[in-house]
Amino acid sequence: MTLSDLDKPAELTVWPGHAPAHVAQGRAFPTLRAALAAAAEAIDVENAKPWIITENGDILAPGWIRANSAAHRVQ
C-alpha cells in the first residue's frame, strides 16, 4: 500500500464489539483516509471491529487499523 492509496475509494464494514454480531454495517467511502477515520472512531466510541477493503483489494483488519489510524498518519 502506498500514500496514494489513501485517496482511493474504500469499503468499511463495522461489526459490533459488545455482542455476537448477526448484522454488520457496511459503507462505501470516497477515500481510504475517510474510511480509516470512521473505523478509528468506531473502535474508540463503540469498541467495534471494523474491517476495510481497499480499491486494490487489500483487507485491513481491526488490529492493523488500530495500529495505523493515529491522526498524524491518516491526515
- What does the pLDDT read at residue 72? 43
Q: What is the pTM of this model?
A: 0.78
5-62: per-residue pLDDT in tens?
A: 899 999 998 887 776 767 778 999 999 999 999 999 999 888 889 999 999 999 999 9
Q: Which DSSP helix (H) or strand (E) runs through 49?
A: strand 49-54
- What are the sequence ranges of the domains in the chain? 8-19+51-75
Torsion angle defined by CA atoms of residues 45, 51, 53 and 59, in that order, rounded to the nearest 10 degrees? 140
DSSP SS3 for 5:
helix
The beta strand positions in the chain, using DSSP E, are 10-15, 25-29, 49-54, 59-60
